[in-house]
Amino acid sequence: MEQYQNLNGIFQALADPTRRAVLGRLGRGPASISELAKPFNMALPSFMKHVRFLEDSGWIRTRKEGRVRTCAIEKQPFAAVEKWLSEQRAVWEGRTDRLEQFVTNAHKKERSE
């Protein structure tokens, strides 16, 4: 039923404005933790929880060089969200198609009678 075991985490990650803002920033290019944290009025340990959540759910990768940890965005989760949306859309469209089919068939039946 569920091809993305990780879809729970992928959506959960987006259910927070700090995490969405971090993804928005990383879309412009990689950044260090301290650079990412700057716009938020938040203690570093709290901010790090958000970073770890984004990393664990697959939205970002991080790399430590010396004392600096750099974060970069991953695009696979975007593709997973888009796939889920397009699957939902396909269900509605199938529904519309079936409705059109029904109307067309009813019309044909009327004409042949």
Residue 36 has a CB neighbour count (10 Å cut-off) of 23
Which DSSP state fits 64?
E
| Single residue of 68, 85, 103, 106 touching a copy of itself by CB under 8 A | 85
Please give the residues from 55 up to 74 whose contact with a copy of itself meets the rule CB under 8 A: none
Of the candidates 3, 15, 65, 112, which one interacts with a copy of itself according to CB under 8 A? 15
- Asked if 82 interacts with a copy of itself (CB under 8 A), we say yes
How many CB atoms are located within 10 Å of the residue 77 CB? 23
Tokens representing residue 1 in the block: 């039923």
- H-run or E-run covering 3: none
Instruction: Check binding of 7 to a copy of itself (CB under 8 A).
Output: yes
Does 46 engage in binding with a copy of itself (CB under 8 A)?
no
**Could you say whether residue 30 binds a copy of itself (CB under 8 A)?**
no
Assess contact for 39 and 32: CB atoms under 8 A: no
The helix/strand/coil state of 57 is: coil
User: Least distance from C-beta 70 to a copy of itself, angstroms?
Assistant: 16
Round to whole Å and give the CA distance between 107 and 105: 5
- Footprint on this chain of a copy of itself (rule: CB under 8 A): 1-2, 7-9, 11-12, 14-17, 20-21, 23-24, 27-29, 78, 81-82, 84-85, 87-89, 91-92, 94-95
